Each structure stands twice: as structure tokens, then as C-alpha cells.
Chains A and B, each alone.
Chain A
């Protein structure tokens, strides 16, 4: 064990938690809180107003009326009831349209709004869940036949392991304080008001309720923090039995599982199963904490209102949160594991060819299909018609990535290796994941094209460093995840995302009518700084967490299989079943 590196990572980790109050102290000294500081800006859920229906804020003063958390969906507006039946008193059990007032009509419209959004979010989530099959096929196809059962099984098991861990603690850490994050004026929870229960967490510099007359701080904290660190509501989904929260939980869970499955590719063909299993239960920890910082209302999202860095860290569907984090964990894991036996000999890189190219390509198509849930689903709203732009940008970036990889290979005098073409498409999809809602279609092509080029060079690069990545996960997800995060700060065109993360700057509203997410090419350099900060944090946090974990887990159960097992193939010794028992499966490595 490299004690020095372990020591440095622990120092970095400690340094994080200690540095944040120092930085916040300095920030307070330098500049007064911005006008859109969370304490002064309207909270996501305004106080209950008798003129507004309960579902505007997720609160109700009438104990007889529906309340939240709402486990049946009866509280999110009222659904229209075109039923001609009569109740026991002979009165109509359903609606009588001519008796409905405007408020009643609005109730019914709102229910349909939440319904469309929730259905959209759930269906998009189903597509993302199916990406697990895509990952399994791509990774197994790129590995050797003697490890097929094991590689497939790791990809299979990461789904239940990640799911249980997310239910037990991940969702709470990531989204437990979701309702207290910084939001645009006029924001409402697209999935329904029940998400207002996600309102407790920990952070630095808590906000307090104000005295109505003197505006002094009262002793009651609002649950919001100037620098949110993690949530604390919803362990085991306890106490949040609400239809809207359930939809959010499901959608975020399948995203977490995408991160969880990325390292299985970088670490394939030598990762011991028992060590992998405890990894599967742990990976929700770094993922959800970082996700809280970017998506859960935490300090990276708040970097806009706190430090005037654009709209804070902006990552629409997770180039950073999902892919960069997964790629970085995979990189650290591959380093800790070491290269496969026979991969690097006498200073040369020995190719270990894929055993099933058709499976790789079919898997890539499954992933590309699933991305049509991954990116547009992240609006959490089918009624947000920006989804069509997101879909087109996603498609263009993926296809541009594949073609860029093709051109790069030909330009280098190489043949168009199918595994690299697949990596190219996936790299384009990874890179567009953060900027997909904010960029023009030409920018999507550029982002995807650069990704396709980057991934080819990146694959060669890690081999030069003797870091063995059988499937290119580090290049596809790590490198291009970071590229995706940065590209928001370059190409975002300001047409969408007005008030994102609670940032509304008067000069931009005056200049363009609204303060949308905008990159340096469209006049806002501060967004690029926010994105750079986001990249820096994911690298440092990801490396530190992953390194400490993999080193500690190795002491619990060895991370690498014994030499004889690796040479024979992991299928029989680790899983007790061969992938292809009817074939004589051999390998020259």
C-alpha cells in the first residue's frame, strides 16, 4: 500500500471539510451576500397563502384536505372525474362541469401537468435503467470469453447493490435537502409539490427564519444553508412516502447506477467479486455527496449566488455528476488493481482483443437509445418542451462522436476499429450530457466531434502510462465527462435556464430579456470558471474518495484475483459458471 498517497488523500479529504469554513469566512469578508442570496430570495416553497391552493407549496391548513407527503397522488391538483355515477345520497359522484369554478378548473389542469411530468420522468427513467444492459454488453464484448460470465455478472449485480444502497442512504445524502436549494423565481417542483418534504440537511452557515418586523434572525433554522453539504432526510425512504418523491427517487437512482457500472469496465478481468460487492454498496457515497453539491442544492450549485460564478456549477444531465465521477473512480480502481497479466511486456502494449464485437455494437445502440431517456428526462418535465432540443443535441453529439472517431482513425493511417467507433459515439453522448439543454445544434456537433477525437487519443494515452482500461471507460466517461462539464461554460447560448440555481443578474436580463445559462462564446466568462471549479472538485473529491476506499476495501477482502484465477479466467473460480461452457475457450494471454 502506498502509504504516502493514502496520507495525501486523507489530508485532502480533511482539508476539504476544514477549508470550506475558511473560504466562506474570506468570501464574507470580501463581498456582502449577493442580492439573490438564498436567505433573502424567495424560498422554493412560499408560505401558505389562503388565495393559493395547497399544492402550490405542498402545505395545507385544513386537516380534512389532502396533505403532503401524499402517497396516492390525490393531493397534486385534483384529477378530473368524468364519472356519471351517483353516490348514496343520489348526488353526482363525479364532476358536474357546469358547476365548476375557475379554481376547480385550474386544479384539474395542474393535476394533468404533474401527471405528464411524472409519466415522462418515469418512462425516461425506464430507458436509463435499460442502459444497464447496454453497459453489460459493451463491457463483456470488449473482454475475453473466459471472463464473460464474470463481467456480465458484475454489471448485473451493480444494479441491485446500487439500488439498495441508494434506498438505504444515497438518496437521503444527495436529495434530502433538495427543496432548500437555490432556484429560479417562479420555480415549482415539476413532479408535484410533495418534494417539499426533502428539507433537511447539513451545511455551513445555516439560514434562520426572520422576525417579520425587525428582520432579525430568529432561533429557528429554515433548513437551508449558504453552503449545502449533504441531505439528511429520507434514509430508507423513511417518512417521505409521497408520489412525487418516489418519481424523483427512481429517476435519480437509475442515474446513480450508471455511475456505479462505469468502473466495472475499467477494472474488468481481474477484479475479485467479493471486493466488487462491497464497492457496489459503497459507490452511492461519493456519488450522492457530489450529486448533492451539484444537483441537490449544495455548494457547487450555490457558487452562483455565493461567489458570482455564472449560474453556479451547471450540469444538466450529469457529464460531471455521473460520467466524470464514474470514470475517475474507474481510473483510480484500475491504478490500484494494476494491469491485466500480459498486457504490458518489455515496454510494449500487447493487445487483448474483444471477444464479441457484435455484442459491443448492439450494447452501444442500447446505450444510445437509453440516452434518449438520460438527457431529455433530466428536465423532470414532459411539459418542458425544451426536451425536443435536448433530444436533437443528444443525437447529433453521439453521431458526431462516432464519425469523429472514424475520421481520426483514418487520419492516423489506421483501420476503423469497431470498438473505437463505439467509444467515439459514447464519448459524444457523455460530452453532450451536461450542455444538452443549453447549446445550439452546431455546438452539439462540435462538442460531440471533439469528444470523438479526444477519446481516440485518450485511449492511446492511458496505455502509454501503463494504466490498463479494457473497455476505454476512463476515456469515454472520465475524460469526456470533464469535457462535457467545461463545454457548458463555452457553448451555452443563454436561451434556456433563466434563473438556474437562483441566479438572476439584472445586466443580463436587460441585455437579453432573461438570464439563461450562458458560456464564454456568448459573453459570460464566469460560467466557465464555475465549470472549471466543478471539474476540479470532481477530480479531487473522486480521486480521494476512490483511493481511500479501494485501499481500505483491499484490507477487508483482496481487490485482485490470484494469478492462476486470472490466467484461467474468472468465470468458473469466481462465479461457478462459465459464460460459454460448450466452447473450448482459450486465450493467448
Chain B
């Protein structure tokens, strides 16, 4: 089992969600985050004092997939979330040791 954390642009959320649903991914967790990578911030002035806006709001999507679905899901996210500009985001893949469905107590792949 693998966990995918994808940091994407805000307005790409609906597109990515739709595409993932079509791939068969039925569940995901979404958080609002701030960060920066190569997309640097810029300077503003507020009441005479300089103000660097460096953290940029993004959306983080977390999905859990079985190892054989991984490649397809990564490709889906990459194509839908891409604009070609600096700031499209990043995807992190980690190994997952276990998944449990709280309602039934199932664990492992059936719980995804």
C-alpha cells in the first residue's frame, strides 16, 4: 500500500478530484496548506513597511492506493494538475504499513 501526498494549485482541486474518481479512487483527504518551493514570494508594502509574501496557499490531497494502482494514479494527478508554470506543485509517495476502517475493523488492502 502506498500513500500519495500531492500539493497542487487551489483551482485544480475539482479537476483532480473528478479525474481520480474516474480512475476508481473513491476517497481522499484534502487540507489547505501554505508553502513555497521555487515559486518564490514577492514584496508588498503595508502602511509604509515592507512585507514579503513568501508562503503561497496550496491544496494538499492525500490518497491511499494499492501498489498496482500507484502508477496510474500518479499519471492522472500529474496530467490534470499541470499548467506548465512554476508552482504546479509536488507529489510525495510513501509506503504505508497499515490501513484500518474504523466502522468495521477491517485492515489491510480491503480497508482502502
Contacts and interface: CB of A to CB of B under 8 A. Distances in A.
Contacts of B50: 348, 351
Secondary structure of the B contact surface, majority rule: strand
Interface stretch (A4-12, A81-89, A104-112, A414-422): A414-422
Contacts of A420: 47
B49 interface: yes
Interface in B30-62: 44-51
B61 to A, nearest CB: 20
B45 A459 contact: no
Contact of B45 (A348, A350, A417, A472): A417
A460 B50 CA distance: 12
A440 interface: no
A415 B50 CA distance: 12
Interface of A: 348-351, 353, 414-415, 417, 419-420, 459-460, 463, 472
A463 B45 contact: no
B48 A349 contact: yes
A419 B47 contact: yes
Nearest to A469: B47
Given A351-B49, A459-B47, A463-B49, 20 more contacts: A348-B49, A348-B50, A349-B49, A351-B45, A351-B46, A351-B47, A351-B50, A351-B51, A353-B46, A414-B45, A415-B44, A415-B45, A417-B45, A417-B47, A419-B46, A419-B47, A420-B47, A459-B48, A463-B47, A463-B48
Interface of B: 44-51
A38 B47 CA distance: 50
Contacts of B49: 348-351, 463
B55 to A, nearest CB: 9
Contacts of A459: 47-48
Contacts of B44: 415
19 contacts: A348-B49, A348-B50, A349-B49, A350-B49, A351-B45, A351-B46, A351-B50, A351-B51, A353-B46, A353-B51, A414-B45, A415-B44, A417-B45, A417-B47, A459-B47, A459-B48, A460-B48, A463-B48, A472-B47
A344 to B, nearest CB: 10
A417 B47 CA distance: 7
A351 B46 CA distance: 6
Contacts of A351: 45-47, 49-51
Nearest to B52: A351
A350 B51 CA distance: 7
A459 B45 CA distance: 13
A45 B45 CA distance: 59
A470 to B, nearest CB: 9
Closest 4 CB pairs of A and B: A351-B46, A349-B49, A460-B48, A351-B49
A147 B45 CA distance: 23
A524 B77 CA distance: 78
Contacts of A414: 45
Nearest to B48: A460
Contacts of A419: 46-47
Contacts of A350: 49
A41 B48 CA distance: 54
A351 B50 CA distance: 7
B93 to A, nearest CB: 28
A353 B48 CA distance: 11
A463 B49 CA distance: 9
A538 B21 CA distance: 70
Nearest to A457: B48
Contacts of A415: 44-45
B86 to A, nearest CB: 23
Contacts of B45: 351, 414-415, 417
Residue among B45, B46, B47, B49 with most chain A CB within 10 A: B47
A349 B44 CA distance: 13
A460 B47 CA distance: 7
A463 B48 CA distance: 8
Contacts of A460: 47-48
Residue among B44, B48, B49 with most chain A CB within 10 A: B48
Contacts of B47: 351, 417, 419-420, 459-460, 463, 472
